[in-house]
Structures are given as C-alpha cells and as structure tokens.
Amino acid sequence: MERLATGPRTCASAAVAGAAVGSATVLPHVTIRGLTKRFDKVSIYENFDLDLPRGKLISVFGPNGCGKSTLINMIAGLVAYDSGEILFAGKRREQVKLGYVFQNYREALFPWMRAFDNIGYPLKLMKVPKPERRARTERLVAHLDVKIDLNRYPYELSGGQQQLVSIMRALVVEPEILFLDEPFSALDYEMTLFMREQLQRIFLETGMTIVLVSHDLEEAVYLADRILLLSRHPARIADFVVFDSARPRSAATLSSPEFVQTKAHCLDVFQREVRG
Ligand SMILES: Nc1ncnc2c1ncn2[C@@H]1O[C@H](COP(=O)(O)OP(=O)(O)OP(=O)(O)O)[C@@H](O)[C@H]1O
Ligand SMILES: [Mg+2]
C-alpha cells in the first residue's frame, strides 16, 4: 500500500506489487523482473524488480554512475540486458511505441533538417506517407501551442527551443511512455524553468507515463508523482516516494510543507545511500 499515516509517503513495498487505489488494483505500465545487467565484470543490476505505474510522472534519482541511464535505456530497448524480463502491461518492447529524449540536444537533432522535418522524422522511419506526416506534425505543434518558427534549422534555435523540438520529435509517434534522460541539464536556469513548465503541460495534456532522469533533486520532486531513489550499483530501490501535490505545480509548490518534507526525505535517503 502506498499510504503512510504521516511524513513522506513511500511505495517501496508496492514497487513490485502494483499500486492499490481503493479496492481496485491498477496494473503497472512497466513490469521489470529479475533484471541483471553487467558491464564487463561490474554488476549494475542484479535480480532487480520494479513496477512503474501508468499515467504517472516518475523521476529517477541516484548517485552518479549508479545506473539511471542504463535503466531507462534497457526499458526503452536501447541497451541489452543479460537476463530478466521487461514487459509493458504484458506486452513486449516491439509491441509498444516509446519516445526518448536524449540529454544532449546539440547532438540529438539532424542539423540539415528544419525543425518541422526533425519532428516528423520518426514518422518517416515508420513509412507514414508525407501528407499524413505533415498533418500529424502540424496537429502536434498546434496542440502544444508551440511558439517556435519550425522552418528554422536547429542552429538557428536556442538550446531550450532545440530541446523542445527533441521532445516533440519523441511525442509525434504518440508514445505510450516518454523517457527523458537529464533533458534540461545543458540549459541555463531560465530555460530550465521554462522547460519544466512545458513538460508539466505536456504531461497534463497527454496523461502519458513519463520517466525522467534528473540529477537535480528539486526538479525530480517538483515534477514527479513518484521519485525512484536508487542506491549505488548493483542498484537497489532505496525508496520509491509518493508526491501527490496538486497540478499544475508552480513556484508556490516549492515552499509548500509537503514539498519541503518530501525533498528532505529524499535527500536523507540519498545521503544514506551515497555514504553507504
Ligand atoms: N557502455 C558501457 N560500457 C561499460 N560501462 C558502462 C557503459 N555504460 C555505462 N557503464 C557503467 O555503468 C554504470 C552505470 O552507468 P549509467 O550511465 O547508467 O549511470 P548513471 O546513473 O546514468 O550516471 P550519471 O549520473 O553519471 O548519468 C557506470 O559505472 C558506468 O561507468
Ligand atoms: Mg546518466
């Protein structure tokens, strides 16, 4: 069960049991069982189990090198694992559409393509005919109310605008799950704040499951419904914290007792895990 009487709520015990809501059990969107991953002889994951709830924004936080990127890359099918199983509500990776936003937007977009064509590129890979590609890209842009001139090339856009184009490129296929690996770390503070709001808006409008790796604890808590805290590798779930503050969240959220308490709890767990 997720609910604790007082203090930050954790769902660590429910990390592999699905989240109970009232009497009905909501099936997890991603189920990971017995996952094992080694790089050379170093064990990053050893018999790792995790359930990710559907329709939630889940932040992944942990020490450098603990395996955050490796985890989302394995779920997204970008990195192979040695053993175990990852299923998406019972389906295999090939049966679901996923979106992925890389950390480094400078290398993520095709420099020779206009922003509009960058966004539509995954549809081209899926062999969607050009008129439909155009219509779907336009629909997405209109839906998100993006104020960027999409006829521009990536080098003509600011870092934040480029990252927004990367996010739209991930969204154009209408993924079930959107993965973002430290997507704002190369942006300045003002742009980071802007992008957090954009991501929150996209989340509210689409209701999709989002998995966000962040090295910024404030961001990880502010944006999340759940904060997955990982230990040093071989990674364990140090805690899986619930943060149910109302959306949309704003600057006021940051000073709310619930936020302050949850962040302090996460920091406590993190420091314990880092110190070992
Ligand atoms: N391709 C690879 N070959 C060998 N070792 C790797 C490879 N990719 C990752 N590792 C190692 O696996 C561990 C986990 O890496 P990963 O990139 O998942 O960590 P992370 O938690 O995302 O770290 P960071 O916070 O620095 O982004 C690290 O010790 C890293 O050195
Ligand atoms: Mg990483």
Q: How far is the CA of 114 from the centre of ligand 1 (A)?
A: 33
So where are the chain's domains?
55-66+96-275
16 pLDDT band (50/70/90 cuts)? low
Find all residues with CB under 8 Å of 198, minimum gap 6, and list them. Answer: 144, 164, 167
For 104-134, give one letter per residue: b (16+ CB within 10 A) or e: ebeebbeeeebbbbbbbbbbeeeebeeeebe
Q: How far is the CA of 187 from the centre of ligand 2 (A)?
A: 16
236 pLDDT band (50/70/90 cuts)? very high
Residue 43 phi/psi, 5-degree rounding, is -85, 120
Q: How far is the CA of 109 from the centre of ligand 2 (A)?
A: 19
Ligand (nearest to CA of 61): 1
Whether residue 25 has pLDDT greater than 70: no
Contact 237, 16 (CB under 8 A): no
The span from the CA of 114 to the CA of 111, in Å, is 8
| 71 CA closest ligand 1 atom index | 18
| Third-level CATH fold of 55-66+96-275 | Rossmann fold (3.40.50)
Contact 209, 52 (CB under 8 A): yes
Beta-ladder partners of 86: 32
Nearest protein CA to atom 18 of ligand 1, as residue: 67
Contact 37, 74 (CB under 8 A): yes
Report the relative pairing of strands 98-101 and 9-10 from DSSP bridges. unpaired
Report which secondary-structure segment, H or E, holds 205. Answer: helix 189-206
18 pLDDT band (50/70/90 cuts)? very low
| 70 CA closest ligand 1 atom index | 18
Q: How far is the CA of 230 from the centre of ligand 1 (A)?
A: 13
Q: Helix or strand or coil: residue 203? A: helix
The span from the CA of 185 to the CA of 159, in Å, is 11
pLDDT reported for residue 19: 44
Whether residue 171 has pLDDT greater than 90: yes
Cα angle, residue 117 at apex, residues 114 and 120 outer, rounded to 5°: 155
| 182 CA closest ligand 1 atom index | 27
The span from the CA of 167 to the CA of 211, in Å, is 13
What share of the chain has pLDDT > 70, as a percent? Answer: 91
Tell me the average pLDDT of the chain. Answer: 90
Ligand 1 site-directed mutation target among 38, 39, 217, most atoms within 8 Å of CB: 39
Instruction: Give the CA diameter of the chain.
Output: 56
Ligand 1 site-directed mutation target among 44, 182, 219, 236, most atoms within 8 Å of CB: 44
Find all residues with CB under 8 Å of 214, minimum gap 6, and list them. Answer: 59, 60, 61, 182, 184, 220, 223
Nearest protein CA to atom 3 of ligand 1, as residue: 39
Closest CA to 30 of 80, 83, 71: 71
Report which secondary-structure segment, H or E, holds 210. Answer: strand 209-213
Contact 103, 182 (CB under 8 A): yes
15 pLDDT band (50/70/90 cuts)? low
- Residues bordering ligand 2, an ion, CB closer than 5 Å: 69
pLDDT reported for residue 167: 92
